[in-house]
């Protein structure tokens, strides 16, 4: 597609439920990033995929968070047993490669509210 597509755009879930957030990056972009933006905070790195390499999961805040990237394209971020502190905007970005010299294209994000 023309841009990075994320779905859903908004998700309200009950505490304790699992959620899946989807990111469809720009075709041909080998690098894919997930970030989280909590209210009043800067963007926080979660996970990075580059081609077929093992992902860098060092930013995932707990073992309730996991992510996959199937076929080097679409990525899914899963949060199990959601907590209220998980409420945030989850942003996905992709880039042509991992160098960043070609810039990043961000999706519009998924606003997650845990009630």
- Please say which residue, 30 or 80, places its beta carbon nearer to another protein: 30
CA 16 to chain centre: 20
Q: Does 104 bind another protein (CB under 8 A)?
A: yes
Q: Does 100 bind another protein (CB under 8 A)?
A: yes
Q: Does 25 bind another protein (CB under 8 A)?
A: no
Bond into 8 cis (ω within 30): yes
How far is 92 from 6, CA to CA, in rounded Å?
7
Choose one: 17-25, 64-72, 76-84, 91-99; the region binding another protein (CB under 8 A). 91-99
Among 39, 42, 70, 71, interactor with another protein by CB under 8 A:
42
Residues 6+ apart with CB under 8 A from 5: 23, 24, 107
Place of tokens 């042509």: 96
Q: Does 48 bind another protein (CB under 8 A)?
A: yes
Q: Does 30 bind another protein (CB under 8 A)?
A: no
Helix, strand, coil distribution of the chain in percent, nearest 5: 5, 45, 50
Residues that bind another protein (CB under 8 A): 31, 33, 35, 40-45, 48, 50, 56, 59, 89, 91, 93, 98-101, 103-106, 108-109, 111
């Amino acid at each position: 597609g023309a841009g990075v597509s994320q779905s859903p755009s908004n998700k309200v879930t009950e505490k304790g439920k699992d959620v899946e957030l989807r990111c469809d990056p720009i075709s041909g972009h080998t690098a894919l990033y997930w970030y989280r933006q909590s209210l009043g905070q800067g963007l926080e790195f979660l996970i990075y995929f580059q081609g077929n390499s093992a992902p860098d999961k060092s930013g995932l805040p707990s073992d309730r968070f996991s992510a996959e990237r199937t076929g080097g394209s679409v990525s899914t971020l899963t949060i199990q047993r959601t907590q209220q502190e998980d409420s945030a905007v989850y942003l996905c970005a992709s880039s042509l490669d991992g160098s960043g010299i070609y810039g990043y294209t961000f999706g519009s994000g998924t606003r997650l509210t845990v009630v």
